[in-house]
Amino acid sequence: MKILMVCLGNICRSPLAEGILQAKANDQDLEWQVASAGTGAYHVGEAPDIRSQKVALAHGLDISAQRAQQFKRKDFESYDLVFAMDQSNYQNILALARNEQDRQKVHLILELSKGKKEDVPDPYWNDNGFEHVYQLLDKASDSIIQRFS
C-alpha cells in the first residue's frame, strides 16, 4: 500500500508523519511505502525543518534524508491513501481530486485517533509545538495501522 502524508510546507508536520508511520509499518512487517508532500511549493527540495529533525531523533527516527515536494494531481494515481494534517490542506487536496475515487482516498489524519475533525497544529511559528505534533502523529499512526492493515 502507498500512503502520502500532506501538510502545507512539507517541512514540519508531514515529514514527521512519514517517518513515524513508515517506522511503525516496518516494525510490523507491513509492505507500506509512506511518503509526504506539501500543498505549497515554498520549500520544495529542502530537508525537514531542523526542529522536526530534532524531535524525530529524540524518538529514534532519522528523517534527515527526506526532501520536500509539492502535492500534484497525479499523486492520486500513485497513492492509495492521502492524509491531510489540517482542514485547509484537506480542502486544497480535494480541490485537485478528479473524481469520487480520488476523493475517497483523502482523510483528515486525526479523525481516526480523535473521533472528530481536529487539526494537527502548524508548529512552524512555535518552537515548543513539535513534541506535541509528534505525540499526535504517533497516536494517529497507531490508528491508521489498526484501521488499514
Return d(Cα 8, Cα 10) in angstroms, integer.
Answer: 6
# chain residues binding ligand 4NP, by CB under 6 A: 11
User: Which of 49, 75, 86, 122 does the annotation list as catalytic?
Assistant: 122
Contacts of ligand 4NP in 10-39 (CB under 6 A): 10-13, 38
CA 136 to chain centre: 11
Q: Output the smallest distance, CB 71 to ligand 4NP, in A.
A: 11
**Measured on CA atoms in the order 19, 142, 91, 82, is the torsion positive or negative?**
positive
Length of the chain: 149
**Is 7 part of the annotated catalytic residue set?**
yes
Answer yes or no whether residue 7 interacts with ligand 4NP by CB under 6 A: yes
Return d(Cα 124, Cα 117) in angstroms, integer.
Answer: 21
Q: Output the smallest distance, CB 80 to ligand 4NP, in A.
A: 22
Return d(Cα 9, Cα 61) in angstroms, integer.
Answer: 20
| Active-site residue list | 7, 13, 122
**Footprint of ligand 4NP on this chain (CB under 6 A)?**
7-13, 38, 42, 122, 124
